[in-house]
Structure 1
């Protein structure tokens, strides 16, 4: 599957510091330590509806990690999946009377357009669930040989406790796991399972649903093993950061890690990073609630995508927050002021801005602090206009490059 086009990213006059990020599994701020190329997996969309601001916040958030690593001198191998066959997609296609393949292709293309408009750096490997089925089959066969798979009717299940580290990522009590498992696509009450928390890795063929041949009979892959197999194929047995929204901590990331760890014996990921949830009208933004603000709708209303991105950057990626139109309009006004300052050519000295912004981004992707630093430079630049003896005549160009390289804002 193809990703979207990559923007040109400018270089900076200095190399940024090592990147620290909050690790969900330990609850601590941990310095990332890529051995050469940094390896990042961010869980992708199930393409049954358009990209909303909650999605955008997650992908912009971890785009900042991609950029901070690059500023620190690393190449980045970034992988993202597309769950282009799953229950929500099939249910939506049936409800609206369209072919599920056509629906998935349409919404995936819209997602590409939204990400490109927001200047999110594309993954090196953008992989659909359907095209990854051979990888899933191979991982299931490996887990079978290790005794971690059993059958219930035509479905195959993974024994969650096959991994002695199960629960180490989410650090949840079993009661909380059971509640979330049922709410987030699991089937804790399925008869015949050995443990209510065991998850399906191969769903046997159902009437009217797509299915693919396999050694286990016709069917389709489970959600969690899809990501485990894709990550293993493209990033190796263990990689640097597994990322996604905080609603993926359990069961998705816990289960995916378990699959990978039992299959390989290695830690699935060194760190687990999660973005906060975005609310609208007082509730978490979600398709089930229908309280969505679509990126494409904003773009089609002639809203500058850089204003959308700036509105997102004003919130720390780990925070839960609520989207408002007022924040978007304020971002539009802010960009106008920033562009005016950059147009002056000269400005307040740029070196302290580069140092402060790159330091903020290396400190758990602290975009709000970085934005405040840039605003202070804008205020100082506007305040020193005409004072050529105290201004830096190359400052505007350096700050412009900084905005793009570190924050993804092309002004």
Structure 2
């Protein structure tokens, strides 16, 4: 298979930059994708949302127990921990993206997944609010490798098949949102659920260690994939360069090659990237999306945990886990429809629709609380399902941000930095979301 670099990539100073974002691409037959390498990077990506979401079902229960022992407020510390993780991710996004443009994608991905395994296990062994805050801060810092993973996907596809590769990539994230809460909701407090098997005092002292251990093992497996199976996709770090009168080509896998232009070897500076109007617009949109997603994630979980008399839903950890898993499951068919939606309605129209869905989602949350207090039962779950469905429509925008970033970054050598900037903008706004909620 041949993956050729973009013929119309945005470049600093180009008078066509904004036109490219608005232009409707001609329909062409998609080039074949390098399936094996995509499967590897998808498997690595899967472990990140699992590690992040496995704690969601019991997150506020754990904080509540520790807060009660220290005389602190659960809601306040829940928001603080979400914000600390978002700030740490924000700080690291650009750093990891830039490093992946110089070190290569594989070293950054290996380091991030290996350290994620360590801190996920540490979360289950935390015994104080200070320990949890420190853990979330450090885990958030290494979660910033997502920009490097985005870049690998961007370098394995081209403009003819990116509308397939990126939605599939987002489906993997959605699958992680299904598996993670199921792990947390199913295996939390195993000494109480299966006392004959988990009778050791260790499981009584650390009731949330088992789901953390399972997630940690998965992250360690991702680190091994990054070392032994994943191939380097950064053109400047690939081993086999073929000199020719035409632009050079570099092998990314056994069945794919990518054109190597000068812009694919020498990365642009941050100032040069920010001088491109269309990239600035993409980063601003990424920021708005990050705020919406982060505010909903922390707000819904807090509302689900909060008692009815305080305006919440009074759901148990296992019920929260099932709700979040259902939310992730709904994302899968929605994202499978994305290639058709993007071809039919256009990238920007689908993005606008997704952002409007976020508005409807937040408006539906007070309705869910009112229904829970008024009737409960099936009506409550129907209102919760509506809120979660609207949030998944909003999350379609995340795939589009990745597509726009790839399409308008001038060369593969700057893709890690551009993805880092997009993630940085997203994470900065995301840090404010839980605090506002």
Question: Shared fold by TM > 0.5?
Answer: no
Higher percent of residues as strand: 1
Q: What TM-score does the superposition give when structure 1 sets the normalisation length? A: 0.26
Q: What TM-score does the superposition give when structure 2 sets the normalisation length? A: 0.25
The structure showing larger relative contact order (alpha-carbon pairs under 8 Å, at least 6 residues apart) is: 2
